[in-house]
Amino acid sequence: MNITVPQGYTVAGSGLPSSKPAAGGGTVFTYEFNKPSFPGDIAVMKGEPAKVSSGGITTTLWFRGPQADSANAYGERTAQMLDYFVSLFGLAPYADMTIVETADGAPNGYSAPGLIFLAPRSIAKEVNDNVLANQIARQWWEVNVSPINRNHMWLENGMALYSEGLWAEHDKGPSALEQRMHDTDVTALTVDDVPLIQASRLDDYSPEYWALTASKGAAVMSMLRSTIGDEKFFAGIKDFLKQNAWKSVTTADFRTACETASGQELRYFFIQWVENNLAPEFKLEYTIFRTQKGFRVQGKISQDLDTFRMPVDLRIETEGNPEEKRVEVMGTSSEFSVDTFGKPKSVVIDPGNKVLRLSPQMRVDVAVRKGEQFVQIGEFAEALKEYQRALDTQKTSSMAHYRVGEVFFLQHNYQSAVNEFREALNGDNNPKWIEVWSHIYMGKIFDITGQRERAVNEYTLAQRTRDNTQNAQDEIEKYLHTPYAEKSKELV
């Protein structure tokens, strides 16, 4: 690629760079790329970049305006993530990265070989780890290997999203990954009519497409890791990337690499999670017996999918140390027996939430997420139907009431909105941030309806929570000084 630019401008692209003066002024930048990948993206900039060297990795950052102050932080974080992902995935296609700020309205992030584009909203004083980790992971899971067609896009989008969780686990501990995977599982379960291997049936970039290929794809990666173990999972990942570097890949290629690394036949796993579209809902029955050496728990795990097969963990809480057991769940009913020394107090199925599955609470969460997806595209009537499904399952769901209140607020149905925000405050208070934002929304409504004293009271109640989720305290401070004025669309 040869790109001619005026004097004082620079071009960033993928491949081996060179430059020479252009006839008539300016400069010709040449990028030579000889790998089968995606090298066609370029950026034209003016000025000088920030160069950050850390751990033997040099990152070139073209940030401008207020985002320029974040260049060093993003350069340091990029080096840390590259180093970590190399330990998981093997050598990176490019050791040094160039990161370019795009413009408002652009996607949050986009990857090309050796080059990452970030929108201004993705660049902040505190590094946006999720966007950055996702795009860096795509240097392996897009640039280095690429799905042969859209039916195998879960390999790319799923592993990129799961890499966000892997980084969170590395940076903040296992609980951070567990929280990420709960949110991911909720989104994954919003699509229940299309198998992962048939993603091409969905429209590109639709919420359903991303829920399937990214969220369910990440859930499948997480379950595969749990099924075969960390060592074999990451060995399979490395072998897959090494054997298929600069190639188009299929799900069968990935399965073969995992089977070789694990020494297990994994056809059953891919049938359940890649070729089928349903998730189980477990039911647990058990009886406790006293034995000569202690106690025995005998029971069965039931679910509705006749072809289901999956190893599922059990934890028996006792008066002493808990007992762990992995049960091979096959078909609609699987029995188990566990001996314990201490007297059992309870039995917990899938205590680490490793299996993508339904439960009463998950059904509520999924309905709320579907409603949120409808709101994003302006389908308020459909959103309200989903929120009502959540409330039919759990009448005290603060999240469902809160989301209904948001829709009524957008529709200028202020009395109904206040009613729902009050129901949210009287509900299960999950998540906690609903309290502060319910008071903020009611404050806004009282400002709109000319009741300033009542509005200030709500802002004050919100302030007392000291919850700063989504910069809530900044919002409160602003409206305590200046009454809220209506805007066309506002969602948290």
Q: Could you identify the residue written with the tokens 């048939």?
A: 198
pLDDT bucket at 95, cuts 50 / 70 / 90: confident
Q: What is the pTM of this model?
A: 0.91
Tokens representing 52 are: 């950050």
pLDDT bucket at 490, cuts 50 / 70 / 90: low
Where do the structural domains in the chain lie, given as residue ranges? 2-137, 144-275, 283-349, 360-481
Homologous superfamily (CATH) of 360-481 is: Tetratricopeptide repeat domain (1.25.40.10)
Please return the burial class of 320, using the count of CB atoms within 10 Å of its CB with bins 0-12, 13-18 and 19+.
exposed
Closest to 313 in 3D by CA, of 264, 343, 348, 360: 348
pLDDT tens readout for residues 223-237: 999 999 999 999 999
Using DSSP's 3-state secondary structure scheme, residue 22 falls into coil
Tokens representing 211 are: 């829920």
In the predicted model, is pLDDT for residue 487 greater than 60? Answer: yes
pLDDT tens readout for residues 170-189: 999 999 999 999 999 999 99
Can you state the angle between helices 452-465 and 472-481, rounded to 10 degrees? 150
Burial 414-432 (b: 16+ CB within 10 A, else e): beebbebbebbbebbeeee
Q: Where are the alpha helices (DSSP H) in 359-466?
A: 360-376, 380-393, 398-410, 414-425, 434-448, 452-465
Closest to 368 in 3D by CA, of 396, 398, 399, 395: 399
Tokens representing 78 are: 């990029």
Q: What is residue 486's predicted lDDT score, i.e. its pLDDT?
A: 81
pLDDT tens readout for residues 244-264: 999 999 999 999 999 999 999
Number of Cα atoms under 13 Å in the Cβ half of residue 410: 17
Closest to 122 in 3D by CA, of 164, 153, 90, 87: 164
Using DSSP's 3-state secondary structure scheme, residue 126 falls into coil
pLDDT tens readout for residues 184-221: 999 999 999 999 999 999 999 888 999 999 999 999 99
Residues 367, 374: Cα–Cα separation, whole Å? 11
Mean pLDDT along residues 153-159: 98
Using DSSP's 3-state secondary structure scheme, residue 158 falls into helix
Q: What is residue 82's predicted lDDT score, i.e. its pLDDT?
A: 97
Closest to 368 in 3D by CA, of 395, 409, 403: 403
Q: Could you identify the residue written with the tokens 């859930």?
A: 219
Residues 349, 326: Cα–Cα separation, whole Å? 10
Give the E-state strand segments of 42-93 in sequence order: 43-46, 50-54, 57-62
Terminal alpha carbon distance of the chain = 43
Residues 346, 352: Cα–Cα separation, whole Å? 15
Residue pair 21/27 in contact by the 8 Å Cβ criterion: yes
From residue 448, alpha-carbon distances to 392, 479, 485 in Å are: 31, 12, 7
pLDDT tens readout for residues 348-406: 999 999 999 999 999 999 999 999 999 988 999 999 999 999 999 999 999 999 999 99
In the predicted model, is pLDDT for residue 300 greater than 60? Answer: yes
Q: Residue 21 forms beta bridges with which residues?
A: 27
From residue 119, alpha-carbon distances to 47, 163, 211 in Å are: 19, 20, 22
Residue pair 269/310 in contact by the 8 Å Cβ criterion: yes
Residues 487, 203: Cα–Cα separation, whole Å? 31
Q: Residue 19 forms beta bridges with which residues?
A: 29
Q: What is residue 320's predicted lDDT score, i.e. its pLDDT?
A: 87
Q: Could you identify the residue written with the tokens 């949110």?
A: 183
Q: Which CATH class is domain 2-137?
A: alpha beta
Q: What is residue 29's predicted lDDT score, i.e. its pLDDT?
A: 97
Domain 144-275 listed as CATH 1.10.390.10: yes
Q: What is residue 492's predicted lDDT score, i.e. its pLDDT?
A: 54
Ramachandran area for residue 205 (φ above 0: left; ψ -120 to 50: alpha; else beta) = left
Residues 106, 121: Cα–Cα separation, whole Å? 9
Q: What is residue 379's predicted lDDT score, i.e. its pLDDT?
A: 95
Cα torsion 130, 135, 137, 139 to 10°: value is -170
Q: What is residue 488's predicted lDDT score, i.e. its pLDDT?
A: 54
pLDDT tens readout for residues 57-84: 999 999 999 999 999 999 999 999 999 9
| 144-275 and 360-481 agree in CATH topology | no
Residues 291, 293: Cα–Cα separation, whole Å? 5
Q: What is residue 421's predicted lDDT score, i.e. its pLDDT?
A: 98
In the predicted model, is pLDDT for residue 472 greater than 70? Answer: yes
Average pLDDT, the chain: 95
